[in-house]
């Protein structure tokens, strides 16, 4: 691992510190800025699809979040940086007011990147003043700042996935970074771990931070199941492709098959064939497909079809959680700055539970029994998306290590492919 | 209740008989024909949206089902009625072969209604020959015939809902039937029934017929909850509308709000305002809104928003099933020939669990733990739809009484409104 | 030629009589009914695209035209047949009022065909009463009746082209009629007729009936040109296809090339390849492609590309008119009941100017200098369409002989293919 | 007028010099660069609709034009700057090869603006070397360079109109320039100039540069007509709006009315109402509507409806040309750097024929009699667009004075509004 990577990892130590304080605030916010340091202003403007946002928008929106939910609420006579930003950088909070039309975010060339960075500085100055007097901060305010930091980490991940998506449209295949020295290893055999039936507690129970959608914790009865010891690799997914996986309707959900034909899917996103060789577009540009690495950028539909093809299924989110809570939160996160999944290591137990790729579960994103959204404007943060989406677990190679945990629930529509999303298998036991 | 209705009800007694035999086959198939007896040929051609099908297509497809899955498999040298029908009347069975483009079903003016009825007669003749020798029928064949009869009943319901949808586009507001003498009663108060937590068995366990998606039965832990004693009425839903329900984003799921604005929803499907009066299009034509009747033709999105508005929620399908299995399968079904929901009766316990309107649950349609689709072509019957849809329970006023049970799972996309779908509330208990 | 055809031709003699009178009214209206005599009610309901209409709608709309513009205006206390029809069967007359949504015409199953025929009878009775007192009819009223009859003839043509389009979606390939005994002949050589430059009078000048868009007649200077002696044949068009015509962007207009790729055009509408054989769907069902027949069902885009491919161009409408006015209005019209174009005969002069297929010109449909639309509601008849469409000339095999003339201007969007539209070439002379 | 403006105007003198030489090449290319001098890199990336292009793309494409059609053809062993640019910056030349998907031009963040400017420098260096040896340049090559310069001027105009369109989506209403000191005058009365009938020569006849679509010159017979002495003003157009112009279907073409309802047009593009005041977005930001200025940013549909509303019509392009050839090519062009139309001056004759706003004619864009596109790749420059578009004449306030002439034919689709396009009226004379 290179020296520069080491230095950066050190600086990340602040990010992983817990609790709301100046050092952590600066570390999280600084990490966002660091992600953009090699980008040109042009790179930060464009939007490649309505689901994705320009980097410049992410930079502004995360500051907007602190300004709107914390500064405006806690500082008397706070004069907002620019009243037009209230609408321009509101993502989806109807309770805050109107929102600039999402699919048009790429048309907002002003404020420029410099001006957005000035906005960030302005917000940081006021936030630091607040954080200078932690004794004066109410528990509610501390919680809101915590939400703001967690929110910033979520957008760090989106900045990278949105940028990757944008760059993929450019026939010059721009590289966000130089090719990292990825640790390599041979593919280890996939093994099945048995978990017996029983009544479990699902959801977050601790004292630390968790999103509302991880609560309340509740009893859940699980049938016995088997759980794959590692993620599915590119080599394994390639076998599915070569067996005609994308041409066999019996392997696909009805909606999946209709979509596949319409979009002419033939492989995961970012895969392309040059002659007989498969290439993959990565944040380090176009690369040869590495067979031992986990398959990534597949939709739920593809993950589900792959599982059916090999006589298995995807795990439920409860199964995943029960397995994951015995694993340490370690792995290949954004902190390692590979920005790319790496192959599994040999050894007993289950591997790659955290980091590398988000793992599709077969669980639709729904409220836990007794779920209540937070009061106020943040009620819209998670609850209103509890329909039509599927739960993913475990974080990815562009997630912060300090952001993820066993109970963490991510969610995307089943056709989404631009996240680092991959495949973990499970099996029912009769 | 009129004499003619009485006569028909008698004839229905055959339909409700159990087991596969000639009498039941004739009764089920005859009921389909009876539903069409007052239709003009023109009425049977048109298709009002891709989700709906022409009556003529339903008539042909249900015969195609018997021909394809039973006659072709069991009669040696069976010569199919018309080999072109194999593709034309295949709904979605990729394993059978290609399918005529679903949104174009309304363009198929030939075969005419007369010819389709000839096709039905042809299939019936061969089916009756088969059924004449029940001793020669394998268990598998008997099961397939049972599926064919259950399938026919499902399409009887769709014929009526599709026709209602079609007729609603006609400014002449055609009536499928004369106005029925609906039993009326004052609105009874909505009460809450408490159900304690516990481990339950969910799914079908009996010896009779059930669809594969009701199985396997499995243990499921339920938190305590309260369950509404009856369905939500038009009067109650009207209060939601008049409170600005359709203009308040905080009441709606994110996807729901986007859709509502795009489609400009302001009330349930078939409601329209004439001056200050609400009118509803029914199978008996345009009628004044009856306040005590259950609200119908609402989407999941509307049911969910209504529940949020009144501080409640929709039940899960497991909660619904646990309550329902203590109720007799009685109520207002297609057998009563009202083709319209009726108001609840007073009394203890829960009411309207079966019939009247399908009840949206908050459960996405997913496989039960250990679920396996049937072998062969019928694998496509239910399993491939287990994504993006929501479970409804209990049957409606156009469902056959003999077709429904406590474990029965219906499923539709959350924006669907053309079924008789309504609202049952539940509440979590802390 | 069959006896029955002969009889019908005789009855057509009334149609061709000029002037407004009972016999002609009955003949024109009766011809409409005759076109439907072998159709099933089902055939008259469906609509295959927004541009086309159901036969039943055509039957109703043409009666609506007489009712709205003549009976309601001229008969005191005329009580309209059904006031709902005013909107339901209004095509596009904003000055009359709202119109039922055009793309939904196929959803109107009621009034049934029988009821629509009753409507026609009702209108006919009142019209005949009016026509019984010709001396009482004002010039304006006589003109309106004339417009009504011309309008009916236009819809006779549309009924056949719309029905052909509808039937083409049916994999059973229904035949509207038995295969006619088409006169056949070998392909005659295409020759070029020279026309010298000069100042001409373009537009209608006579005393008989003409549409407003044919007026005013005006001076127009023509450069010298050459004009093809006959239409382009299927054999000639096939050579274009086989030379890669549909794969060579340099042959196509920019808009055409974009459309061709989007719609995946590879041949004229209704052509399909069965193995190595080209087949064509006709009103007599699926037939082998006849090489000597004029190519039909091509768009303006295809006609233009074909012309470019062979180093020629399409004529302007003025060039066409100058040539056509020296030809008798004779040819293969709907009167011959072939409902299909036939091959050219040998001989001097120009051939196939009238009938067989409409001939695309390179002239956009625009107002003649000094053009004024009619006063009143019929202002909308032609004028508001003078944009984005191209002029076609000469009538087709489904046009009435009595309806067409050298100055007649038909117009369709350049992508339209469902009319009998073909190719006449011209060339500039340096 | 400011000093800086004066300086720039001086530099423009080179642009207007005729003939291909170094000074003119540098002046034209330099003017392009000058237009971008105050833009941020971010401003040059975004694309607001498929019809418009990013400024950065315009900068690259105009260099691509010189490289592809001149440098690659005339310099032996010319090594192109970047072979990927061949596809990336090809606009629509199928004969050159594939083109990057037009609607995605806003996704190309690399090459950056700096890199694109390097590309321009590279091309300029090679072009200047060529131009250093004018005696070695073939007539064909000189012609191609001339086309390149004319092409660059066309894109200078598009850069400004595309940028205006882009900025209009930004709620901050960025100003491209400070508010110019527009010369103002009271509205002068609109008068009608009579032109008698006669046979005219239409099209370009001179020795200078003209596009192929202006040729060949040919005889054209004109009926007598009247021609408005000046453009229609904002005040006059406002009267149309206030008379319900946008709510009255009888004033609109059929296609126009459908589009107007779909897009909810209620005023010209860039007009918006703040309370009771109309404001207009300009290249100097949001401004109060100036009543005496010519109305701009109207579509053909609106120009046509306005003309109908006041009992007039739009001129044909031949009428326009016959009037214009008696006027000097003077007016408010890009050279004045107002980037906005100005009000008419009093005086005899016709005014505002050149500059200010392009004038919609009622003539569809079609080939002149005997028209032949150029040989080779430039055949695609004009000819393939001769369908579905309308001719505009006279140039605008963002056209170069040296680029326009009486025979110049611009063309846009009838719904286009983002050009500076306005209204000149004409009338037929009986």
List average pLDDT for each run of 10 residues in chain D, which is 430 residues long.
34 58 96 98 98 98 98 92 96 94 98 98 97 88 96 98 98 96 90 97 95 98 98 98 98 98 98 96 97 98 98 98 96 97 94 98 98 92 96 98 98 98 96
- Within 8 A of C87 by CB-CB distance, chain B residues are 171
Q: Tell me the per-residue pLDDT of B282-339, one tens digit each, with 9 for 90 and over.
A: 999 999 999 999 999 999 999 999 999 999 999 999 999 999 999 999 999 999 999 9
Tokens coding A183: 């640790």
Give, in words, the CATH class of B2-167: mainly alpha
Tokens coding A353: 């539970």
Calpha distance B404→D425 (Å, rounded): 72
**Cβ neighbours, 10 Å, residue B23:** 13
Tokens coding D222: 């004109």
**Cβ neighbours, 10 Å, residue A309:** 18
Domain B192-428: which CATH number of 1.10.1740.10, 3.40.50.300, 3.90.1580.10, 3.30.300.10: 3.90.1580.10
Round the average pLDDT of chain C to a whole number and report it.
94
Count of CB pairs separated by less than 8 Å, C with D: 87
Chains that touch C (3 or more CB pairs under 8 A): B, D
Calpha distance D71→D78 (Å, rounded): 7
C-beta pairs of B127-134 under 8 Å, 24+ apart in sequence: B127/B25, B127/B66, B127/B70, B127/B71, B128/B22, B128/B25, B128/B26, B130/B70, B130/B71, B130/B74, B130/B75, B131/B20, B131/B21, B131/B22, B131/B25, B132/B22, B134/B20, B134/B21
**Those residues with Cβ within 8 angstroms of residue A219's Cβ, 6 or more apart along the chain or in another chain:** A199, A200, A201, A202, B197, B221, B223
Q: Tell me the per-residue pLDDT of C145-199, one tens digit each, with 9 for 90 and over.
A: 999 999 999 999 999 999 999 999 999 999 999 999 998 888 899 999 999 999 9
Look at D84 and A172 and tell me if their CB atoms are within 8 Å.
yes
pLDDT of residue B15: 52
Tokens coding C16: 């061709």
Q: Tell me the per-residue pLDDT of C16-66, one tens digit each, with 9 for 90 and over.
A: 556 899 999 999 999 999 999 999 999 999 999 999 999 999 999 999 999
DSSP D250-267: GGS-HHHHHHHHHHT--S
Look at D362 and C366 and tell me if their CB atoms are within 8 Å.
yes
pLDDT by 10-residue block (mean), chain B, 430 residues: 34 58 96 98 98 98 98 92 96 94 98 98 97 89 96 98 98 96 90 97 95 98 98 98 98 98 98 96 97 98 98 98 96 97 94 98 98 92 96 98 98 98 96
Tokens coding A179: 């090719």
Best mutation target, A40, A41, A42, to test chain D (most D CBs within 10 A): A42
Is-cis flag, bond preceding C317, omega within 30? no
Alpha helix (H) residue ranges in C20-80? 22-35, 55-66, 72-74
Best mutation target, A107, A118, A163, A169, to test chain D (most D CBs within 10 A): A107
pLDDT of residue A2: 33
Look at D250 and C94 and tell me if their CB atoms are within 8 Å.
yes
**Cβ neighbours, 10 Å, residue A76:** 4
Best mutation target, B40, B42, B54, B164, to test chain C (most C CBs within 10 A): B42
Chains that touch B (3 or more CB pairs under 8 A): A, C
- Within 8 A of A98 by CB-CB distance, chain D residues are none
Question: In whole angstroms, how far apart are CA D413 and each of A425, D150, D214, D389, D393?
Answer: 54, 22, 19, 4, 14
Tell me what the mean pLDDT of segment C403-414 comes to: 98
Q: Tell me the per-residue pLDDT of A232-269, one tens digit each, with 9 for 90 and over.
A: 999 999 999 999 999 999 999 999 999 999 999 999 99
- Is residue B153 within 8 Å of residue B24, measured between CB atoms? no
Domains A2-167 and A192-428 fall in the same CATH topology: no
- Within 8 A of A313 by CB-CB distance, chain B residues are 367
- Within 8 A of D428 by CB-CB distance, chain C residues are 369-370
Region of B133 on the Ramachandran plot (φ > 0 left; ψ -120 to 50 alpha; else beta)? beta
Euclidean distance between the first and the last CA atom of chain D, given in angstroms as a whole number = 47
Calpha distance D334→D1 (Å, rounded): 15
- Is residue A425 within 8 Å of residue A400, measured between CB atoms? no
D220, D257, D366 member nearest C362 (Cβ)? D366
Q: Tell which residue, B370, B421, B418, B369, has the closest CA to residue B391.
A: B421
Calpha distance B167→B173 (Å, rounded): 6
Q: Tell me the per-residue pLDDT of A132-146, one tens digit each, with 9 for 90 and over.
A: 987 889 999 999 999
Task: State percent of chain A over pLDDT 90.
Answer: 91
- Within 8 A of A300 by CB-CB distance, chain B residues are 387
pLDDT of residue A185: 81
- Within 8 A of D42 by CB-CB distance, chain A residues are 41-42, 44-45, 56, 109-110, 112-113
Cite the beta strand spans of C79-216 per DSSP E. 192-195, 198-202
Per DSSP, D310 falls in state T
pLDDT of residue C186: 87
For chain A, give the secondary structure using H, E and C: CCHHHHHHHHHHHHHHCCCCCHHHHHHHHHHHHHHCCCCCHHHHCCCCCCCCCCHHHHHHHHHHHHHHHHHHHHCCCCCCCCCCHHHHCCCCCCCCCCCCCHHHHHHCCCCCHHHHHHHHHHHHHHHHHHHCCHHHCCHHHHHHHHHHHHHHHHHHHHHHHHHHHHHCCCCCCCCCCCCCCCCCCCCCCCCEEEECCEEEEECCCCCCCCCHHHCCCEEEEECCEEEECCCCEHHHHHHHHHCCHHHCHHHCCHHHHHHHHHHCCCCCCCEEEECCEEEEEECCEEEECCCCCECCCCCHHHHHHHHHHCCCECCCHHHHHHHHCCCCCCEECHHHCCCCCCCCCCCCCCCCCEECCEEEEEEECCCCCCCCCCCHHHHHCCHHHCCCCEEEECCCCCCCHHHCCCCCCEEECCCCCCCCEECCCEEECC
Q: Tell which residue, B93, B102, B101, B97, has the closest CA to residue B83.
A: B97
**Cβ neighbours, 10 Å, residue D219:** 15
Calpha distance C139→C2 (Å, rounded): 41
Look at B94 and A386 and tell me if their CB atoms are within 8 Å.
no
Domain boundaries, chain C: 2-167, 192-428
Beta-bridge mates of residue D278 = D273
Q: Tell which residue, A254, A286, A255, has the closest CA to residue A273.
A: A286
Look at D385 and C219 and tell me if their CB atoms are within 8 Å.
no
* Strand (E) or helix (H) holding B426: strand B426-428
- Is residue A208 within 8 Å of residue A18, measured between CB atoms? yes
Touch of D by C (3+ CB pairs closer than 8 Å): yes
Tokens coding B171: 């400014």
Look at C366 and D363 and tell me if their CB atoms are within 8 Å.
yes
Calpha distance D160→D167 (Å, rounded): 10
Alpha helix (H) residue ranges in C267-424? 300-309, 317-324
Calpha distance C146→C19 (Å, rounded): 8
Cite the beta strand spans of C62-216 per DSSP E. 192-195, 198-202
User: Does the pLDDT at position A157 exceed 60?
Assistant: yes
Tokens coding B242: 């008049």
Q: Tell which residue, B419, B313, B312, has the closest CA to residue B358.
A: B419
Question: In whole angstroms, how far apart are CA A33 and each of A8, A58, A80, D33?
Answer: 13, 11, 22, 32
- Is residue D74 within 8 Å of residue D123, measured between CB atoms? no
Beta-bridge mates of residue B198 = B222
Per DSSP, B229 falls in state S
Calpha distance C194→C185 (Å, rounded): 26
- Within 8 A of A215 by CB-CB distance, chain B residues are none
pLDDT of residue A184: 81
Radius of gyration of chain C (CA): 22
Task: Give A3 or C124, the one with higher predicted confidence.
Answer: C124
Q: Is C87 exposed, middle or buried (0-12, 13-18, 19+ CB in 10 A)?
A: middle
């Amino acid at each position: 691992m290179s020296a520069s990577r080491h230095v950066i990892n050190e600086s990340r130590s602040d990010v992983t510190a817990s609790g709301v304080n100046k050092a952590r605030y600066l570390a999280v916010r600084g990490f966002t800025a660091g992600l953009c340091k090699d980008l040109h202003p042009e790179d930060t403007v464009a939007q490649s699809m309505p689901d994705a946002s320009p980097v410049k928008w992410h930079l502004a929106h995360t500051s907007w979040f602190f300004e709107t939910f914390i500064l405006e609420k806690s500082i008397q006579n706070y004069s907002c940086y620019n009243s037009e930003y209230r609408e321009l950088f509101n993502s989806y909070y109807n309770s805050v007011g109107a929102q600039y039309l999402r699919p048009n975010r790429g048309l907002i060339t002003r404020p420029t990147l410099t001006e957005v960075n000035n906005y960030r500085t302005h917000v940081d100055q006021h936030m630091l003043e607040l954080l200078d007097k932690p004794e004066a901060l109410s528990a509610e305010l501390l919680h809101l700042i915590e939400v703001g930091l967690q929110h910033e980490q979520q957008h760090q991940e989106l900045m990278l996935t949105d940028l990757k998506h944008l760059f993929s449209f450019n026939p010059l295949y721009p590289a966000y970074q130089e090719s990292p020295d990825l640790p390599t290893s041979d593919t280890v055999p996939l093994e099945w771990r048995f978990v017996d039936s029983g009544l479990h507690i699902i959801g977050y129970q601790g004292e630390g931070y968790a999103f509302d959608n991880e609560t309340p914790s509740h009893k859940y009865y699980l049938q016995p199941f088997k759980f794959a010891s590692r993620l599915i690799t590119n080599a394994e997914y390639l076998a599915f492709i070569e067996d005609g996986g994308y041409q066999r309707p019996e392997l696909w959900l009805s909606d999946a098959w209709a979509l596949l034909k319409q979009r002419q899917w033939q492989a995961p996103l970012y895969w392309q064939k040059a002659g007989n060789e498969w290439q993959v577009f990565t944040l380090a540009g176009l690369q040869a497909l590495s067979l031992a690495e986990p398959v990534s950028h597949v939709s739920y539909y593809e993950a589900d079809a792959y599982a059916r093809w090999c006589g298995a299924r995807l795990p439920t989110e409860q199964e995943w959680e029960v397995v994951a809570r015995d694993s340490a939160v370690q792995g290949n996160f954004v902190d390692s700055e590979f920005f790319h999944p790496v192959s599994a290591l040999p050894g007993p137990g289950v591997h790659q539970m955290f980091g590398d790729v988000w793992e599709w579960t077969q669980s639709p994103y729904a409220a836990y029994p007794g779920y209540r959204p937070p009061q106020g404007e943040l009620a819209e943060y998670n609850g209103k998306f509890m329909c039509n989406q599927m739960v993913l677990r475990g974080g990815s190679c562009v997630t912060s290590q300090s952001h993820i945990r066993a109970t963490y629930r991510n969610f995307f529509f089943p056709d989404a492919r631009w996240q680092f999303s991959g495949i973990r298998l499970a099996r029912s036991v009769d």
